[in-house]
Amino acid sequence: MQCMTEKIEKEFEIADVMSQSVSKSSNEKLKAIAEGCAVELKLGMEILGVVFEKATQEQEGTATEEK
């Protein structure tokens, strides 16, 4: 019985270490994904800013032409 208890405890220790390893790996992957999303969001915001600026300029040009 003692041997079986020790074996079970050892299995739990191994499972705990594996769980921590997977958790760390998952956290690193999630962090990389989040950083990638942040870069894409920043680029998207820059593009949107350029498009908005161009649309504003075109609208101002049209307003000037109408006068």
Give pLDDT tens digits along the chain (67 positions).
Answer: 678 788 888 888 888 888 888 788 888 998 999 999 999 999 999 999 999 999 999 888 876 666 5
| Within-domain flag for 31 | yes
| Within-domain flag for 4 | no
- Find the domain containing 59 and state its range: 12-63
Quote the pLDDT of residue 65.
64
| Within-domain flag for 58 | yes
| Tokens of residue 64, six digits | 């000037």
| Within-domain flag for 37 | yes
Quote the pLDDT of residue 36.
92
Quote the pLDDT of residue 62.
76
Separation of alpha carbons 60 and 56, rounded Å: 6
| Within-domain flag for 53 | yes
| Within-domain flag for 35 | yes
Give the chain's domain count. Answer: 1
| Within-domain flag for 25 | yes
| Within-domain flag for 44 | yes
